Structure 1
Amino acid sequence: MKKTIWPLGFVAGTMLALAPVVQVYGQGSVTLYGVIDAGIGYSNNVAPALGGAGGHKFQLTSGVGTGTRFGLRGTEDLGGGNTALFVLENGFSVANGTLLQGSRSFGRQAYAGLSNPRFGTLTFGRQYDSVVDFVSPFTAAKQWGTQYGAHVGDVDNLYNAFRINNSVKFTSQTWRGFTLGALYGFSNQAGGGSGNGFANDRAWSVGTSYRLGGFSVGAGYLLVNNPSSGNTNGSNAGGAVAGDYTAATNIFYARPVTRQAVVTAGAAYRFGQATAGLVYSHSKLDYTDRSSFDIHNIEANLALRLQPALVAGLAAIYSDGFVDGARGITNVATTTHPRWLQINVGTDYSVSKRTDLYAAVVWQKAEAGAAVAAVDAVGGPTGAGGRYQIATQLGLRSKF
């Protein structure tokens, strides 16, 4: 009997002796957070798909200003300044309670990693690419313009039309105003299989930013190989952007894409109660029929803080496209040189630290060889023969 009790007592005593060490080096926290965003929106001439007939649309909206979500954020002190961390973030519709991002449990973000105060942070999972991290904050859409204010078709992913699965991501610590980042998303498919295996729906990106006083600048690059292979009936249901690469207003993804490359840059300068910004992006899509589409987006925006709780903004976006290897793109561009013009107007009023009211109006016109307008997130492009689209939104946003 004594032989049985002795080892148990020894183990219990050892655990008690180590308890202070565990308390010092195992301290951590888990935070529940979220955003509830609901409103009423109107848009004109909305078609359910390219080439369809359009009509006026009134709708109860969710997440137009900021994606409705709830999430868990956890950290654990590992000692020596090292930290283990995780984020699980769910996207859902407050209008009907359904899951978004392909009905994923944590479709917005899902990752775990390690952070070091000297070197930076390394994370693994479903994450945002470097274009989103380093350039999208300069856009009007991510500040006050709502999702409606994203560039036509969100072809540059600056409003994160898709996220990157199976990804490894590194973000450096900020050194003298500079921050660096890189990401690689695996296809998770065996080499030599259907669609060239290893490269079939993989992605990688790099980015950087610099901040000095009221001036800030950022740049990013994103490349995705065979992104359409992750769509329904595609050759890789587990790839880097599987299930994310389609939406009614992402008109440039309606045809199978073999390669997408995005180069972006943005800058902002704060003076007094105003902040002026510039954003540039160049996206090139290569299609399976060996045609390609280049589009340059140029955005200028201005935000004014009229009162401590009131912000108003104005932005103009010019999108210049070029089709190569074809005379046009069916139901998108009738010639080789389509163009779009877009104006965003918005305002935001903070009722409290957690709650605000916002309003936005977005006008987009298809010019020259552009066949349709496509304001992001309104539910579809303009109907056949339509050349402009207007979207308005009144919303309430509460954060916790």
Structure 2
Amino acid sequence: MLPRFHGRSHGVTAPRRKPHDSNSGDFMKKLRRSAIAACALSTSAAFAQSSVTLYGRLDASINSLHFSGPNRASVRTVSSDSSHWGMRGTEDLGAGLRALFKMESQFQVDSGAQGNKEFYFNRDSYAGLQSDRFGTLTLGSHLTPHVRLTFKVSPFERAQLGNVVALFQGGPRGYQVVQNNSAAYTSPRWRGFMLRAMLGLSEGAALSKTRSLGLEYEAGPWWLGMTHDALKVSAASVGLPATQPSLWSRTTVLGASYDFKVVRIMAYYQTNHAQRLTDIDGWMVGAVAPVATGEVRMGYSRNNITATTRATQLTLGYSHFLSKRTLLYTNVSKIWNDGSRIVFLPARQDIGASGFPIAGQDVRGFQIGMRHLF
């Protein structure tokens, strides 16, 4: 605090200002203008606040696969499952409106190779606007609503030996992981409900048109979801003569989970209908139970083409959490291929040109690995 000086003690008399001193008035006006300008600048700065986050997931495991029958064989691999890195960011535009972006790229931890040689950012890659009141609209490349549903109702998410991907093997019968050239809308959550919609544009091509719609509900221990995808495919891509016209392949999915605290149970059902083809359906039930510093996981699923042409999978696993971002896991799984079915475990990308499994050949697998998030 500055010391006070009194004119009498120092022999100086301080001049007295008139009540309506013009200099004082001008000074106060300038002060008020400066304050208003400072407030305006601070408000603009607050609206322009932005953030950018670098994040990723590294997953590496050792896999041992065994194929049954007279042509039995074994394959051992080091696998990288769903490893990816990305950047995402937002800018506050004020009034509950934000600009946002996301760029995500998959890669192989075991080799350092890109997950997709054609597209570098081969997962979510988009820009858009987000409103607290009206929802989010983005343009670019998106994971489909179908894929986002499986994150909620699969005990192994979309990774490791027991993941739900095995249900969709056997051709592009409406199963899309990522839709390029798409517009996606996500509504605000209202009384537990949230809507997702996506439109994939063909950009002049006769095929690659996609329409996706998803609805989910979350309240307390319940999570419920439904999606419907329609994909325009060529006749040759689904095993029909190439001379036949293209067709629409439509897939409907239902999913549910309930958390009892001591165990979370989940169920999943999907059915596909394509013109001039036999319908395909599949289902899965699973559970995740917390145990000390880990989780026990179980999944049982089946994929049906006909009553005698189907595949069944059973998987048991355990995950041990070293921290919030690092875990160790181990899984055992078996697939029974009936008739002419050829369904294999999700480490398939590392099998290469081994030629296994053949039609009707069962597959057993053991896996031990580590996952780290940053």
Both structures adopt the same fold (TM-score exceeding 0.5) = yes
Equivalent in the alignment of 1:378: 348
Give how far 1:366 is off. 1.3
Give how far 1:127 is off. 0.2
Give how far 1:77 is off. 0.2
Equivalent in the alignment of 2:296: 312
Equivalent in the alignment of 2:148: 133
Q: Matches of residues 213-252 of structure 1 in structure 2 within 5 Å?
A: 213-226=220-233
For residues 76 and 344 of structure 1, the distance between their equivalents in structure 2, rounded to whole angstroms, comes to: 43
For residues 42 and 179 of structure 2, the distance between their equivalents in structure 1, rounded to whole angstroms, comes to: 40
AA at the equivalent of 1:297 = G
Equivalent in the alignment of 1:330: none
For residues 349 and 43 of structure 1, the distance between their equivalents in structure 2, rounded to whole angstroms, comes to: 23
- For the Cα contact (< 8 Å) 2:335–2:343, is it kept in 1? yes
Q: Matches of residues 343-354 of structure 1 in structure 2 within 5 Å?
A: 343-354=314-325
- For the Cα contact (< 8 Å) 1:155–1:283, is it kept in 2? no
Root mean square deviation, CA, Å: 3.0
Give how far 1:124 is off. 0.6
Equivalent in the alignment of 1:329: none
Residues 343-372 of structure 1: CA deviation (Å, up to 9, x unaligned) = 0111111101211001112211112x3343
Equivalent in the alignment of 1:6: none
For residues 172 and 388 of structure 1, the distance between their equivalents in structure 2, rounded to whole angstroms, comes to: 43
Q: Matches of residues 263-278 of structure 1 in structure 2 within 5 Å?
A: 263-278=252-267
AA at the equivalent of 1:348 = S
Q: 1:43 to 1:99 in 2, by over 3 A?
A: same
Give how far 1:211 is off. 1.2
Residues 268-306 of structure 1: CA deviation (Å, up to 9, x unaligned) = 1111310111110002345xxxx4132111111111111
Equivalent in the alignment of 1:151: 166
Q: 1:132 to 1:144 in 2, by over 3 A?
A: closer
For residues 255 and 269 of structure 1, the distance between their equivalents in structure 2, rounded to whole angstroms, comes to: 45
**Structure-1-length-normalised TM-score:** 0.74
Q: 1:146 to 1:375 in 2, by over 3 A?
A: closer
For residues 108 and 253 of structure 1, the distance between their equivalents in structure 2, rounded to whole angstroms, comes to: 27
For residues 386 and 296 of structure 1, the distance between their equivalents in structure 2, rounded to whole angstroms, comes to: 18
**Structure-2-length-normalised TM-score:** 0.79
AA at the equivalent of 1:267 = A
Give how far 1:20 is off. 3.9
2:248 to 259, 272, 281: 259
Equivalent in the alignment of 2:20: none
Higher mean alpha-carbon deviation, 128-137 vs 389-398, is at 128-137
- For the Cα contact (< 8 Å) 2:326–2:370, is it kept in 1? yes
For residues 364 and 145 of structure 1, the distance between their equivalents in structure 2, rounded to whole angstroms, comes to: 14
- For the Cα contact (< 8 Å) 2:150–2:157, is it kept in 1? no
Determine whether 1:26 maps to 2:48: yes
For residues 151 and 177 of structure 1, the distance between their equivalents in structure 2, rounded to whole angstroms, comes to: 30
AA at the equivalent of 2:45 = Q
2:217 to 182, 207, 210: 210
Unaligned 5+ segments in structure 2 are 1-36
Give how far 1:182 is off. 0.4
Equivalent in the alignment of 1:248: none
- SS of the aligned residue for 1:266 comes to strand
Q: Matches of residues 97-176 of structure 1 in structure 2 within 5 Å?
A: 97-142=112-157, 146=161, 148-154=163-169, 162-176=177-191
1:86 to 101, 105, 110: 101
What percentage of aligned pairs have identical amino acids?
Answer: 26
- For the Cα contact (< 8 Å) 1:39–1:394, is it kept in 2? yes
Give how far 1:253 is off. 7.8
For residues 147 and 318 of structure 1, the distance between their equivalents in structure 2, rounded to whole angstroms, comes to: 12
- For the Cα contact (< 8 Å) 1:166–1:187, is it kept in 2? yes
Q: 1:150 to 1:226 in 2, by over 3 A?
A: closer
Equivalent in the alignment of 2:78: 60
- Which entry has the higher C-alpha Rg, 1 or 2? 2
Equivalent in the alignment of 2:11: none
Higher mean alpha-carbon deviation, 164-173 vs 134-143, is at 134-143
